[in-house]
Amino acid sequence: MSGTLLRVCPSELKIPYEVKRQRSCCMQLINKTDKYVAFKVKTTNPRKYSVRHTCGILQPRSSCSVTVTMQAPRDMQLDHHCKDKFLVQSAVARDGATMRDLVPELFTRAPGRLIEEFKLRVVYIAANPPSPVPEEAEEEDASPRSEAMMGYEAKVSSAFDAASRCIDNCGAKPSCTTKGASVVSTLLGEQLYTREDNQKKFQQDMVRPHSNDVIVYATSLSMLLLRWCSTMVLQIHTNLFFFMRGK
C-alpha cells in the first residue's frame, strides 16, 4: 500500500487469535520523500488495541515500525471475522520538525495541504495452525510396516506348520527325532532373527515422526503382542516335541 508520502506495509493487520493471551503484529511506515512527514495512527476500537508510536515524525527517506497489540480475548469466537480497522494519516511537516510540532491542526484538511490516509482492516488468524501432512508421505510410511508384518506372519506360520507335521508323525517315522530337532532349530533361528529385525524396525518407527500417534501406538502394540504369542506357541510346540520324543 503506497501513496505520495508514505508506503505502508502490510496492507492488512494479521493478528493471531488466542484466548486469554495478548498477541501483536507490526506495520512498517516508510517515508518516500525528501521532506519531513508527520503520521498518526487511529483505530475504530481503541479499548481493544494498544498502539506503540501512535504518532511521530519521519525524517526524509526513513522508516518507522508501529506495533499493534490486541488485548487478551476472553472467549473463543466461532468465526474469525473482524470488523475493526486502523487509519494511518500522514502530512508534510516543516523541515527539522520534532514531536512538539505534532498538533491536531497538522492533520486538518485545508487548501494546499496534502493529507494522505490509509485504511487497514484487522484479520484474525489461528495462533497455532496445524501443519498439513501429505497423504503420499503417510502411505509411504505405512507400506513398509505392512509388508514387514505380513512377511513375519508368513514365516512364523510356515515354521509352526512344519513343526506340527513333524510332531504328529513322530510315532510313525524313526527319523522324526532328527527332523524334529532340525525344525525346532530352524524355528528358533527364524524367531530370533525376526525378533531382532522387528526390534530394529520398532525402534526406527518410534524415532520416525508420524502425524497420527494413535496409528503408531496401535502398530507397535500389535508387533509386541505378535512376538509374545509366537514365543508362547513355540514354547508349547517345543515342550510337546520333547514330550513325544521321551515316549
Instruction: Summarize pLDDT for 11-26 with one digit per residue, the tens.
Output: 999 999 999 999 999 9
State the Cα–Cα distance between residues 189 and 195, nearest whole angstrom: 10
The verdict on whether omega for the bond into residue 73 sits within 30 degrees of 0, i.e. cis, is no
Query: How large is the average pLDDT for residues 36-49?
Result: 96
161 vs 144, higher pLDDT: 161
How many Cα atoms occupy the beta-carbon half-sphere of 61 within 13 Å?
1
State the Cα–Cα distance between residues 118 and 86, nearest whole angstrom: 8
State the Cα–Cα distance between residues 198 and 35, nearest whole angstrom: 73
Residues in contact with 78: Cβ distance below 8 Å, sequence separation at least 6, in sequence order = none
Q: So what's the pLDDT on residue 230?
A: 75
State the Cα–Cα distance between residues 136 and 211, nearest whole angstrom: 12
Look at residue 122 and tell me whether its pLDDT is greater than 70: yes
Beta bridge partners of 6: 31
Share of the chain above pLDDT 70, in %: 59
Helix or strand or coil: residue 229?
helix
User: Are 28 and 9 a contacting pair, CB within 8 Å?
Assistant: yes
Query: How large is the average pLDDT for residues 100-107?
Result: 91
| Nine-digit cell string for 198 | 522387528
Q: How far is CA 127 from CA 24, 77, 219, in A?
A: 11, 13, 32
Q: What share of the chain is helix, strand, coil (3-state, %, to 5)?
A: 45, 25, 30
User: Are 120 and 8 a contacting pair, CB within 8 Å?
Assistant: yes
In this prediction, residue 197 has a pLDDT band, given cuts at 50, 70 and 90, of low
Q: So what's the pLDDT on residue 220?
A: 72
5 vs 219, higher pLDDT: 5
Contacts of 48-52 with CB under 8 Å at 24 or more apart are 48/84, 49/84, 49/86
Q: So what's the pLDDT on residue 62?
A: 96
167 vs 119, higher pLDDT: 119
Query: How large is the average pLDDT for residues 177-193?
Result: 50
Q: Side by side, which strands form the sheet with 85-92?
A: 13-17, 115-126, 85-92, 37-43, 55-58
Most trustworthy range by pLDDT among 94-98, 150-154, 239-243: 94-98
Query: How large is the average pLDDT for residues 94-116?
Result: 91
pLDDT tens track for 201-240: 656 655 554 445 656 667 777 777 777 777 777 777 677 7
Look at residue 161 and tell me whether its pLDDT is greater than 70: no
Q: So what's the pLDDT on residue 142?
A: 46
Look at residue 176 and tell me whether its pLDDT is greater than 50: no
Query: How large is the average pLDDT for residues 145-154?
Result: 56
190 vs 244, higher pLDDT: 244
